[in-house]
Amino acid sequence: MGPGGIASGGGEVLSAFETLLKQSNLSAEIKDRCSTHKVGCLGMCSMDVLVDLFIDGKKTTYQKVNAGMVQRIIDEHIIQGAPIAEWITDEEYDNFYSKQIKVVLSDCGVVDPESLASYVANGGYKATDKVLKTMSPVEVTDVMTKSGLRGRGGAGFPTGLKWETCRKVPSSQKYIICNADEGDPGAFMDRAVLEGNPHAVIEGMLIGAYAIGADKGYVYVRAEYPLAVERLSQAIKEATAKGFLGKNIMNTGFNFSIKLKLGAGAFVCGEETALIASIEGQRGMPRPKPPFPVFSGLWGKPTVINNVETLANIAYIITKGAEWYASYGTEKSKGTKVFALTGKVKNTGLIEVPMGITLREIIYDIGGGIEGGKALKAVQTGGPSGGCIPASMLDINVDYESLAKVGSIVGSGGMIVLDEDNCMVNIAKYFLAFTQLESCGKCVPCRIGTKRLLEILERITKGLGREGDIELLERLSKDIKSASLCGLGQTAPNPVLSTLNYFRDEYEAHIRDKKCPAKVCKDLLTYSILEAVCTGCGACKRACPSAAISGDKKKPHKLNADLCVRCGACFDVCKFKSVTKE
């Protein structure tokens, strides 16, 4: 019952199980043990709706389930004990999880996100009990430091160092903020955690608050995540009612409360000082640093800001130990990382992998390779702030240092797979259009510079590129990176610089040859009809919005290039491949 599952019909499947189980002729003994249980995202979005069925401790997973399949699952599997082989997940499903290491997502798909009792039954709040009753704030920050956990929001700053710095700042009032303003296109890591296991985030905030000496916290979550807001609100209310939040938590004298702040969807509010301004009721715009929020943050008080994934790691690290967490990953990038694997890969979904795994393992072993047997062209990591890594670098390790060396970043965890049909100039334009639109406008390099970059890219994709444009893009990109106020402007040119670095030939083809090698840029395409192949079926003629195609039925048709608006409708409807585009 994550958003992908719900969109695929998860609600109808759940309702069918609840209704039909009640109507079935199960014995009283079995009926008492028969229950339905909603969970968050299981990860493999391409196979939704996924249903886990447990009988006598044995789990069977069914994939692509719809409401019409439920009766047969009940009759044949639950009652007769005969699993339905053709609906059960196959080797591809097993491969998807084989190289994953679940920490943050270990309880997503296990606990009921709308039940505190379910979270507690799976070990929830044990870490809080341990911290409040047996550990000092110094010991807590020491554990975080030894674990090697770095901020999972994109910057990768050491969590233990951030907490320790804030703890040492003298102040009667401190705050901890959960940054849930996930805004990268194609990213849904934080959303899945909030919707699948909200108490893990609350517990992480609680432990962090104790470590730094805060008694108040905020979760800044985007209003476009209604299910996350609903489940998080319910979790906070239930935790408060049961004494896990509020006054004198677990009879230890520690007080901590959490409030929700709904963001209106401004990408720039993912930047910590802009986020703070928004909570304070001001316009979400960044301010110069220093001072950093750990010294002067929310309302001028020392403030720690961690993102959802960072906080969701905390309880597991406390429970299992710093050495356990540090055993995963690389020397400088410890632990695991959650990625939203999307794009032209067969098995899209939410994955959690150890730092240091290669791109090849993620795309081919976990993702199942490229859709339709196409050739991989690049992988875009880090969202609008990241870069495009070419297929020739597939064996690169996925960690903070390795990706930075090739002009990209880990970021919050977006990972978009691109194939031979993607135009890299158009990809750069897409991300530039996003960051330019989301620029708050406070500083000139970002406000004006990204606009000029976008204008150049738009010219190039329309066939109006000029000699010198490539050099201009490089020079302007470097100026914007060095002079912008905040991380949005400082990283906005990354998609442009990385595509210029690895796919310069595509830019040159657009500018000099007025051709798009991937045949994506509309203004650079030319459509024609192969008369020797055309059957005269008339499909293209009927689909053409500009009456550019003429011809009698069952006779070869012709396309008037002067009337063609390059919409591609004729190409899309032709079943005989007689329409070509160049």
The residue ranges of the chain whose pLDDT is under 70 are 27-36
Q: Is the peptide bond before 291 cis (omega within 30 degrees of 0)?
A: yes
The DSSP secondary-structure symbol of 346 reads S
Distance CA 206, CA 429 (A): 42
Distance CA 479, CA 486 (A): 14
pLDDT tens-digit map of 385-416? 899 999 999 999 999 999 999 999 998 889 99
Burial of 482 (0-12, 13-18, 19+ CB in 10 A): exposed
Signed CA dihedral, 103, 314, 275, 232: sign only: positive
Q: What is the pLDDT of residue 57?
A: 82
Spatial CB neighbours of 298, under 8 Å, sequence gap ≥ 6: 175, 177, 218, 276, 279, 280
What would the 3-class secondary structure string for 76-124 be? Answer: HHHHCCCCCHHHECCHHHHHHHHCCCCCCCCCCCCCCCCCHHHHHHCCC
φ/ψ of 402, rounded to 5, equals -65, -45
Domains, the chain, in order of start with CATH, read 3-89 (3.40.30.10), 116-326 (3.40.50.11540), 336-419 (3.10.20.600), 424-513 (1.20.1440.230), 525-581 (3.30.70.20)
CB 355 within 8 A of CB 337: yes
Helices (H) and strands (E) in the chain, counts: 25, 16
The DSSP secondary-structure symbol of 490 reads H
**What percentage of the chain's residues is helix, strand, coil (to nearest 5)?**
45, 15, 40
Spatial CB neighbours of 393, under 8 Å, sequence gap ≥ 6: 359, 406
Helix (H) or strand (E) holding 180: strand 175-180
CB 135 within 8 A of CB 163: no
Q: What is the pLDDT of residue 35?
A: 65
Q: What is the pLDDT of residue 184?
A: 83
3-state DSSP assignment of residue 176: strand
pLDDT tens-digit map of 279-327? 999 999 999 999 999 999 999 999 999 999 999 999 999 999 999 999 9
Beta partners for residue 350, in sequence order: 340
